[in-house]
A and B are shown apart, each in its own frame.
Chain A
């Protein structure tokens, strides 16, 4: 996918988001009472409309520049430089899943058990580390170090579990 195509997709997603936002604002937030009270709806509505306009401008500019370029450059893709990076969707979604799992486990089994589990998962699945020594050392060492520094030294509350509580 070229940069222009990516921008077109991005603008469409933002357009849909802005349209949904605007519709939700109008249907769920009450307007002001007048006499100087512009109400809680005005700003979210204005932001939604501005986003709609900006997404439309991005769409039009990406569309027109994408169509104009081949005429100027001739056959496009051979020499074209991509300024955007490749998006690693799998890695991103995997990490999001692990973060959600971490949040869930923190409340259920507490920091001391949830952390090594998630660290092992991230190292094994995302970073593809297979050495058992590394996996165990890092997960246990990091958990212990964080617990000592944050909970014991700095007095910051780290989650205790509702299912299992080691403290």
Chain B
């Protein structure tokens, strides 16, 4: 309790509250602009946190994450274009509500249920993180290697429509992280005599390039004009208590679904929101009106995708495994400030972790306030021409990449990685596995090598630990299920073609 009070006093400092608020605002804006996801916002916000106190810095990132997840619903409801992939299911009934003149109620309801889902997942997270961490504290190098391998297997869930392309992407991420000085023996690897490459490719530089540069190139080539879609004068209207009370059971079910999905690395908000939408439609008394502006079609996905935020933080904080690109950036932010998530997190940084819990609550308070009061102002962001955003993002990318090590080399690296990411996206090669490979690669290698050294070169060390065997089995299960699902999809596709 003493630790919690200490953490609360840190998180409730004016600077920390302001940082969370700034993050929530930036997240809402980026999340609401189609194509400019909150992952881009997180990548750009990360360098800003360098000069901040750890709690303010993490608060800024969490605010951006939570604000972005909520902001996706704004353009989904008003324009029929999801601001983020996780808001795609909201379009199905949110946009028809706008066409019926019920945009204000849809927006207001989306905000309230988003906060409900987020707080629900926070409570689950608070209970789970400590428990999982306590279990994981006894892990040695062999168990950690097996755990990270299991984390890597979730690449399969991020592969999109081709498991091979996803695996290629993941292996490329692993390869990139081997460039530079070997951490154990200090041997330069693939540096070609370049001093800049001795430190390797910076994870943050790669993230900025991977997520922001494709947007800039697409903005220059794609003439999608959002301003042509009329954005009416709008305000968020609070739903009635009666409406909320009548849907509270649906909100609880969707919150549990979203938290559970979020806790599985490699899934994410989009899957949770579609599953929740389907669940709501399946069990609704008014099933026929789904797709024509049923409020349950807004409540279910918005509750679920915000419940994902707490869910994804469970494996991130307790095991150090990021479940999606956004949490990978949060992980990078934590590590920059000397907070290494994993089994020992509570022993070393209990205050910071409790402060993060408080920051999440503050972020939802900010989101609620900003959306309900400020939506009529920030909805104008949707009118900013895409080209202007592209130029602004380019300059922010360059500032972010340069400020990491004050080196122009990082800007060049960002450009090269970004253009490659654009080509990959165009060829439907998923780029998220690259991030997972880059984040988990060094731990994978270091723990394997340490385990082998401890065992004198005997691989038995991995086979005699029940925990390691469990994680190996889980990894095989995840890969097996994904391969089976892809084969089934392929067969169905062939049958359809023949018909």
Whether a CB of chain A sits under 8 angstroms from the CB of B489 is no
Chain A residues with CB under 8 A of B231: none
Could you list 27 A-B pairs, sorted by A, with CB under 8 Å? A24-B190, A29-B189, A35-B457, A36-B453, A36-B456, A36-B457, A36-B458, A38-B452, A40-B185, A40-B187, A47-B178, A55-B168, A84-B428, A87-B427, A88-B217, A92-B419, A99-B415, A102-B398, A107-B408, A118-B394, A127-B390, A150-B403, A154-B48, A156-B48, A156-B51, A158-B402, A158-B403
The residue in chain A whose Cβ has the minimal distance to the Cβ of B47 is A156
Whether a CB of chain B sits under 8 angstroms from the CB of A12 is no
Chain B residues with CB under 8 A of A163: none
Chain A residues with CB under 8 A of B102: none
Distance in Å: Cβ of A85 to nearest Cβ of chain B: 4
Q: Is the CB of B395 within 8 A of A142?
A: yes
Whether a CB of chain B sits under 8 angstroms from the CB of A136 is no
Distance in Å: Cβ of A161 to nearest Cβ of chain B: 11
Chain A residues engaging chain B, CB cutoff 8 angstroms: 6-7, 10, 14, 21, 24-25, 28-30, 34-40, 42-44, 47-48, 50-51, 54-55, 57-58, 61, 72-73, 83-88, 91-93, 95-96, 99-100, 102-104, 106-107, 111, 115, 118-119, 122-123, 126-127, 129, 138, 142-143, 146, 150, 154-159
In the complex, A154 Cα to B15 Cα: how many Å? 12
Complex A-B, nearest 8 residue pairs according to Cβ-Cβ distance, in ascending order: A99-B415, A103-B411, A103-B408, A36-B457, A40-B182, A126-B220, A88-B221, A85-B426
Whether a CB of chain A sits under 8 angstroms from the CB of B165 is yes
Distance in Å: Cβ of A147 to nearest Cβ of chain B: 10
Whether a CB of chain A sits under 8 angstroms from the CB of B3 is no
Distance in Å: Cβ of A111 to nearest Cβ of chain B: 8
Chain A residues with CB under 8 A of B422: 87, 92
In the complex, A158 Cα to B458 Cα: how many Å? 51
Q: Is the CB of A95 within 8 A of B455?
A: no
Given contacts A21-B175, A99-B412, A107-B408, contact A146 B189 (CB under 8 A): no
Whether a CB of chain A sits under 8 angstroms from the CB of B20 is no
In the complex, A158 Cα to B396 Cα: how many Å? 11
Chain B residues with CB under 8 A of A44: 175, 178, 189-190
Chain B residues with CB under 8 A of A123: 387, 391
Distance in Å: Cβ of B413 to nearest Cβ of chain A: 9
Please tell me which one of the listed residues B171, B415, B458, B494 contacts residue A95 in the complex, with CB atoms under 8 A apart.
B415
Given contacts A96-B416, A123-B391, contact A36 B452 (CB under 8 A): yes
Distance in Å: Cβ of A31 to nearest Cβ of chain B: 10
Count of A-B residue pairs with CB < 8 Å: 183
Q: Is the interface of A mostly helix, strand, loop or mixed?
A: helix
The residue in chain B whose Cβ has the minimal distance to the Cβ of A29 is B189
The residue in chain B whose Cβ has the minimal distance to the Cβ of A25 is B190
Given contacts A72-B497, A102-B411, A146-B396, contact A157 B403 (CB under 8 A): yes
Q: Is the CB of A51 within 8 A of B171?
A: yes
Interface size of B as a range: 35 or more
Please tell me which one of the listed residues B164, B392, B394, B445 contacts residue A54 in the complex, with CB atoms under 8 A apart.
B164
B residues 285-321 near A (Cβ < 8 Å) are none
Q: Is the CB of B217 within 8 A of A72?
A: no
Whether a CB of chain A sits under 8 angstroms from the CB of B17 is no
B residues 145-193 near A (Cβ < 8 Å) are 161, 164-165, 167-168, 171-172, 174-175, 178, 182, 184-185, 187, 189-190
Given contacts A36-B456, A51-B175, A72-B498, contact A115 B411 (CB under 8 A): no
Q: Is the CB of B387 within 8 A of A58?
A: no
Distance in Å: Cβ of B161 to nearest Cβ of chain A: 7
Given contacts A24-B190, A72-B494, A87-B423, contact A58 B48 (CB under 8 A): no
Chain B residues with CB under 8 A of A21: 175, 190
Distance in Å: Cβ of B468 to nearest Cβ of chain A: 17
Distance in Å: Cβ of A125 to nearest Cβ of chain B: 9
In the complex, A130 Cα to B402 Cα: how many Å? 29
Other contacts beyond A29-B189, A118-B394: 17, CB < 8 A: A34-B457, A37-B453, A40-B185, A43-B178, A51-B175, A54-B168, A72-B497, A92-B217, A99-B394, A103-B408, A103-B409, A106-B411, A119-B394, A122-B391, A156-B48, A156-B50, A158-B399
